[in-house]
Amino acid sequence: MAATKDFAATGESTIIGPSILINGKLSGDEDLTVRGRVEGELSLTRTLIVEPSGIVKANVQVKNAIISGVVVGNISATESVELTREGRMVGDINAPRVIIVDGASFRGRVDMGNAEPRPASERPAQRATSVSRPIVRPAAVVAPARPPLVSRPMGKPQPPAAPVISARFERSEGKPPPPPPPQPVLVGEAGKKKVLLKKKK
């Protein structure tokens, strides 16, 4: 005779408990909190919250997504996707606002749609051609790769290691200023032998 009168009081929020597995299509117009597993397809007009114990293996269409658990699949959000510190995700994100916090793990593509229509005055010298570039590659990596080549046309081709190093640096440190231009040169001198080998090609 378990009484269940009070469940209605929980209102407009759906919770998938930690031991629950849902396999199939799930759709709705309210917030959804996943502590268990959802596999298949998920579409909401509100917010999806994947808690640390939650696992979603699905193609997701939502307004907002906050991911602290595991998501495998593509997410398309009309507003925002946030990967928190505990969030792990493999798949593509398509949303105008994408937030990936330090500590989150993510593999996939990010598409924020057309670059936000900022006035040209706000933009650096860069041209619109960079829009088609994968957004994953921050501008900081692109920038240092070029000046050395221009300033030293004689030789010392850019060692391939340099962009990787700067990329790692950036990831661990958050958003440091772009690495100083001398750095790649130093690396190039240290790895002179490699450079010579390359010239022979």
Partner 1 sequence: MANTVIGSSITIDGEISGDEDLVIQGTVKGKISLKESLFVEASASVEADIEVQNVEITGKVTGNIAATDKVELKADCRVVGDVRAPRILIADGASFKGNVDMDVKER
Q: Which is nearer to partner 1, 12 or 116 (CB)?
A: 12
Rounded to whole angstroms, the Cα distance separating 179 from 184 reads 9
Give the shortest CB-49-to-partner 1 separation in angstroms. Answer: 13
Rounded to whole angstroms, the Cα distance separating 94 from 79 reads 10
Give the shortest CB-35-to-partner 1 separation in angstroms. Answer: 8
Give the SS3 label for residue 158. Answer: coil
Give the shortest CB-146-to-partner 1 separation in angstroms. Answer: 51
Give the shortest CB-61-to-partner 1 separation in angstroms. Answer: 14
Give the shortest CB-162-to-partner 1 separation in angstroms. Answer: 50
Q: Which is nearer to partner 1, 10 or 172 (CB)?
A: 10
Give the end-to-end CA distance of the chain in Å, rounded to a whole number: 82
Q: Which is nearer to partner 1, 21 or 164 (CB)?
A: 21
Q: Which is nearer to partner 1, 45 or 151 (CB)?
A: 45
Give the shortest CB-13-to-partner 1 separation in angstroms. Answer: 6
> Do 52 and 86 contact (CB within 8 A), yes or no?
yes
Q: Which is nearer to partner 1, 32 or 140 (CB)?
A: 32
Q: Which is nearer to partner 1, 27 or 151 (CB)?
A: 27
Point out which residues bind partner 1 (CB under 8 A). Answer: 2, 4, 7-8, 10, 12-30, 32, 36, 40
From the list 83, 53, 52, the residue with the least C-alpha distance to 66 is 83
